[in-house]
Amino acid sequence: MDPNYWVRTFYESLTIDLANLSANPAGFMDVTLELGSSWVAAITANLNTCSVFVPLYSPRLFQSKNCGREWATFAQRFDGIPAVDAPIVPVVWAPCRDMPACAREIQYRGPDLGEKYHREGLYGLMRTHRAEANRVIMKLATVIVAKAHESRHLPHGVAEDFTLSENAFGGQDGERPLALAVLSAPDWHAREVAIRIASAKQCTPDLRDLHSFRAELTGPHPVRPVVVIVDPKAVRADLRHLVVKPWVTVVVVWEKDPSPDDLRRIGESLGPKAKERGMVTQVAAAADLEEALIEQVDNASRQYFKHGAANPPPDSGTERPRF
C-alpha cells in the first residue's frame, strides 16, 4: 500500500474544501510529483510563490532533512515577521513528543479543532472517526483561506534550489540507508540516476559494485533495503543467489528493446523467485528508468520493514499493551 495514501486522501479532501471557499488555486503537495530531474525545481518554485505553508506535524516530518529545508526556504520569505503572524497553518498529523523550535513557535492548537484531533492527530481521526476528520479538514480549510488573504502581499521568494537551504529542524538526520548494488561499467549513466532518485526518496544511498555487497545479500537478516541495478552486458554469471531475499529488488536496464533470447538469458541468471515476487523491473528507455527505480526503492523498503527486526530504544519505558 502507498505509504502516502492517507496524506493524498487528506490533500484531496482539503483541496475540494478550498476550491469551494476561495477562487484561488487550491494548492500543491510535493508527494504528487513524479520524481525525476525537475522535482527540485517544482518544489522550489512552489515554495517561492505559495501563499500558505501547510506542514503535517509528525515524527516523519521532523526527521526529514528535505522537509526541514522546505520549511527554511519558505521561512526566508517572511523573515522578521513574528511567528504568530507567519503564513503557516500546521496540521497535527500524528502525535509528536518532540518538536523543533520553529514548529513549537507556530500556533497549532485550537479549541475549534477538538481534543480528539490534538490527541490522535488527523491521521488517527481519518482512520477511525471520518466524520470528525471531515469537520476538522473543513475548519483547517477555513483557516488556510483566511491566512492566504492576510499574506496576499507576501513577497515571492528567490531561492533557486531548496535543497541548498539549512535544515530548519536543527540538522536531525532522519534519512534512511539504502544499498544500491550496481553491476555495470564504472561510468554507466544509470548510476547517477539511481543516486538522484535515492536522495529524492530521502534515503542515504550507498552505491557500490554488486559483488561488494555479497555478504549482506546472502545473510539471513536484512541490514537495509537493497536495489540491484543491472546492465545486461555486464552479466557473466548466475546471480540468483544474490537476489533471493525479499528486501532485494532488481532493475535491469537495456540500451534497446531486448530480444526474447536476451530476456531468457537474464531471466535464467536472476532465477524464477525474483520474477515471481514482482521484484524485477526491466526497462529500455531513460524515462522508464526513473519510474522503475522509484517503484523498486519503495518495494525494497516495504519488504525491509516487513522482515527487519524491531529495535525499540532500551529506555523507552513502553509497557506491553493489555486488552
pLDDT in tens, 277-315: 667 889 887 668 888 898 899 888 888 888 765 544 445
Its domain, for residue 242, covers 176-307
Nearest to 56 by CA among 137, 160, 135: 137
Does residue 153 sit in the same domain as residue 190? Answer: no
Torsion angles phi and psi, residue 193, rounded to 5:
-65, -40
Does residue 296 sit in the same domain as residue 224? Answer: yes
Q: What is the model's pTM?
A: 0.56
pLDDT at residue 323, rounded to an integer: 46
Tens of pLDDT, residue by residue over 66-112, are: 898 899 999 989 876 777 788 999 999 998 878 888 898 888 887 78
Nearest to 242 by CA among 205, 270, 223, 208: 270
pLDDT at residue 312, rounded to an integer: 47
Here the CATH number for the domain that contains residue 272 is 3.40.50.2300
Cell numbers representing residue 97 in the block: 513528543
Per-residue exposure over 8-41, b if at least 16 CB sit within 10 Å of its own CB, e if not = eebbebbbebbeebbeeebbbbbeeeebbeebbe
Question: Considering its fold, how many domains does the chain have in total?
Answer: 2
Nearest to 242 by CA among 218, 278, 267: 218
Residue 133 belongs to a domain: yes
Q: How far apart are CA 319 and CA 317, in angstroms?
A: 6
Q: Which helix (H) or strand (E) holds 56?
A: strand 56-57
Residue 171 belongs to a domain: no
Does residue 204 sit in the same domain as residue 127? Answer: no
Q: How far apart are CA 14 and CA 293, in angstroms?
A: 30
CB 294 within 8 A of CB 201: yes
Cell numbers representing residue 179 in the block: 544499498
CB 27 within 8 A of CB 19: no
Residue 317 belongs to a domain: no
Q: For the chain, which residues score pLDDT lower than 50? A: 35-37, 172-173, 311-314, 316-318, 321, 323
pLDDT at residue 301, rounded to an integer: 87
Q: CA torsion, points 312, 314, 318, 323, in degrees to nearest 10?
A: 70
